[in-house]
Structure 1
Amino acid sequence: MRKSTLFLPLFSLMMLSGEDWAEAQQKTANYDESKIVPYELPKLLVTREGTEINSAEDWTNVRRPEVLALFQEHVFGRTPGNWGKVSFETKEVKKDALGGKATRKLIHISLPEHPNWAGMDVMIYQPNNVSGPVPCFVGPSFGGNHAVSTEPDVPLSTRWMRPSKEKGIVDNRATEASRGNESSRWPLEMILGQGFAVATYYYGDVEPDHADGWKEGLRAALSKDGANTEWKNGDWGAIGAWSWGLSRIADYLETDPDIDAQKLAVIGHSRLGKTSLWTGAQDPRFSVVISNNSGEGGAAIMRRNFGETTAIITKSFPHWFTKTYSSYANNEAACPIDKHMLIALQAPRPVYIASAVEDQWADPKGEFLSGLNAEPVYALFGKKGYGVKEQPAIDHPLGDSIAYHIRTGKHDVTSYDWEQYLRFAKRHFGK
């Protein structure tokens, strides 16, 4: 009888989904700075052969390709290049959206040579009170286009979604109750009012976010073995696929005369903040990169083992990363990268890192430290970073080409965050 009593909780834990298991770990994770074991970060400005990097040219031509390859091999995997032609189909142009304040476009992006992938639906809002091409924020949503907008005529997504009765997701499908449930994270009128466009897509269009989601997503469609693919070390994960989707939006925006494709800012929150950083690392067309509460696997220093850890994230969400990443669970010191190197891959472009004080799971201090330790690369380009060595007070944003804030509140995207991002983008875009 005693054995059965002990077995039941263990069995219940085994039955938890990755999402639920990760949430359960939050109660026992380390949130004590004094318990962080001393660590040494991998050197940014020393090549594999031991040569020191002293110029922007040598960073760009020698060290940066090495660092990018390390992230491909050990964290996110390599993005394949075999997708062929990309098709853009304009589904809608509504010139009186948001009460006449905006033009809304719905663009379907597909791969004619890979019909097993159903494609992705991109929603664009651009301001009507601005003449000429406008800069654009580009980012994925968790809930679909209909969740970003409150407009009743935005089509409901028909794709698989993570279950959430609170958000109106029933049997893994969106319902009318889910309309607008992400609108607070995308304050469209605020963004449009500052002269920016917004381009977004549902990340599940590219790959549903569960362990077997790849079988009905882009990764299977591009693999010669389809849903029978056996992923190996160095093969791409879901974050790589979601990032691919953002780059295809950039492809489209380069063809849209209403958008200034030289002024694209990529943005993402949480797992999609990790996606934003990986997109910026791979695609230089995004001239501003924004990470909102990206945490472990994103901006946070993995060697700190504070809040979410490599062991937790790779057990909860192994499909996000290349297989190699899980080998660093409880073995972070063996990993040849840390996340200051991911921030450095954005250089010399402006990058904004944002934390929330109640989001200790994402390790706000670790996020801050990544930006701080990326400063030597930015200095090679004559760019400035934070201008301070210590994490700032709550709600006191700081920085130049590398910027940071930790705000009041929880793991989320708020109007306060957007106020900082808009100010940051306007400064660097020269608006």
Structure 2
Amino acid sequence: MPNQRCLRIHYRGIEDCQWKNDPHIAAFHVADAAPDKKEEYMNGVLQLYPEQLTKDNGMRAVGAWAWAASRVMDYFKTDKDVNFKKVAVVGHSRGGKAALWAGAEDQRFAMVIANCSGNTGAALSRRKFGETVEVINTNFPHWFAASYKKYNDNENALPVDQHMLVSLIAPRPVYTTNATKDLWADPKGSYLSLVNAEPVYALYDKHFTLTAEPPAVNTAIINSVIGYHNREGIHDLTVFDWTNFVRFANFHYRHE
């Protein structure tokens, strides 16, 4: 992007800041869209859509966070300094879940990057490895629709799994990650989700270089419409992660 300005975007407004190098970065705190508490999550943007709170399949916190990401994109379309056709949505952990959902719901995002997103993010639920559907619904009952709780300890009854969520992003590039000490997020299941999304990307004749088995630790798959790495370390968002996100974005934006 052409100039040296970044934007910090919050639910209550937009603040300019100086940035030494491109690209722009915009961030909003998910709690500004929906407080990350089971007693308070409805006290954000869901006040605009009270009917969602009464529906069994209505939007809850993660959906509200993804909705907010799309409202940031609405703003980008009005800012002449932002190339809104080259915007990647990025999230870590629960933010990674929201990023995947935002990318699936809003095709204006050119790229989706989900860091250590785990259960109900990139990881396959039917593996029942690490954090399960029951665990996540018990610990964070405000994240997902009430109807999701019927699959607690009942993953095999799910009509979908997370590779289908990744597939909904096709044909746009998607990059997911894991960490070696974050088994809770199921690195193998997250990678298999990408592998199982390949047939949908193949319908668009997209190039991918995933192998049947996950790549070696700290080895990033970049030159592929579906990218991935599993770095050494804990559940975190690190310089290694950001470095490879930029490499992935540079590769695809150069090859459009």
Aligned pair in 2 of structure 1 residues 263, 104: CA closer, same or farther (>3 Å)?
Answer: closer
Measure the CA separation in 1 of the matches of 2:169 and 2:7.
Answer: 29
Measure the CA separation in 1 of the matches of 2:92 and 2:9.
Answer: 23
- The structure whose Rg is larger is 1
Deviation per CA, 1:209-235: give whole Å up to 9, x if none.
Answer: 0012233211123226xxxx8533210
The answer (yes or no) to whether the contact 2:6–2:25 under 8 Å persists in 1 is no
Structure 2: which 5+ residue stretches go unaligned?
Answer: none
Measure the CA separation in 2 of the matches of 1:123 and 1:413.
Answer: 23
TM-score (norm 1): 0.56
TM-score (norm 2): 0.93
Deviation per CA, 1:102-132: give whole Å up to 9, x if none.
Answer: 4354566xxxxxxxxxx434456574xxxxx
The Cα of 1:307 is off from its aligned counterpart by 0.5
The answer (yes or no) to whether the contact 1:299–1:340 under 8 Å persists in 2 is yes
Query: Which of structures 1 and 2 has the larger relative contact order (alpha carbons within 8 angstroms, sep 6+)?
Result: 1
Aligned pair in 2 of structure 1 residues 371, 107: CA closer, same or farther (>3 Å)?
Answer: closer
- Of 186, 203, 216, the residue aligned with 2:30 is 203
Verify: 1:368 aligned to 2:191, yes or no.
yes
Q: CA RMSD in A?
A: 1.9
Measure the CA separation in 2 of the matches of 1:106 and 1:272.
Answer: 17
Q: Which residue of 1 aligns with 2:44?
A: 217
Q: Which has the higher strand share?
A: 1
Aligned pair in 2 of structure 1 residues 281, 332: CA closer, same or farther (>3 Å)?
Answer: same
Verify: 1:255 aligned to 2:78, yes or no.
yes
Q: What secondary structure sits across from 2:87 in the alignment?
A: strand
Verify: 1:410 aligned to 2:234, yes or no.
yes
Aligned pair in 2 of structure 1 residues 305, 125: CA closer, same or farther (>3 Å)?
Answer: farther
Whichever residue aligns with residue 120 of structure 1, its letter is R
Report how many residues are paired.
Answer: 252
Percent of residue pairs bearing the same amino acid type: 44
The answer (yes or no) to whether the contact 1:298–1:339 under 8 Å persists in 2 is yes
The Cα of 1:407 is off from its aligned counterpart by 0.3
The answer (yes or no) to whether the contact 1:208–1:214 under 8 Å persists in 2 is yes
The Cα of 1:392 is off from its aligned counterpart by 1.0
Matches within 5 A, 1:42-191: 102-105=4-7, 119-123=11-15, 127=19
Higher deviation after alignment, 206-215 or 344-353: 206-215
The answer (yes or no) to whether the contact 1:294–1:362 under 8 Å persists in 2 is yes
The answer (yes or no) to whether the contact 2:122–2:193 under 8 Å persists in 1 is yes
Q: Which residue of 2 aligns with 1:77?
A: none
Structure 1: which 5+ residue stretches go unaligned?
Answer: 1-100, 109-118, 128-191
Whichever residue aligns with residue 407 of structure 1, its letter is R
Q: What secondary structure sits across from 1:201 in the alignment?
A: coil
Measure the CA separation in 1 of the matches of 2:133 and 2:210.
Answer: 30
Deviation per CA, 1:7-28: give whole Å up to 9, x if none.
Answer: xxxxxxxxxxxxxxxxxxxxxx
Aligned pair in 2 of structure 1 residues 197, 380: CA closer, same or farther (>3 Å)?
Answer: same
Deviation per CA, 1:328-386: give whole Å up to 9, x if none.
Answer: 11110111000000110110000001110010000011110000000000001011233
Deviation per CA, 1:3-49: give whole Å up to 9, x if none.
Answer: xxxxxxxxxxxxxxxxxxxxxxxxxxxxxxxxxxxxxxxxxxxxxxx
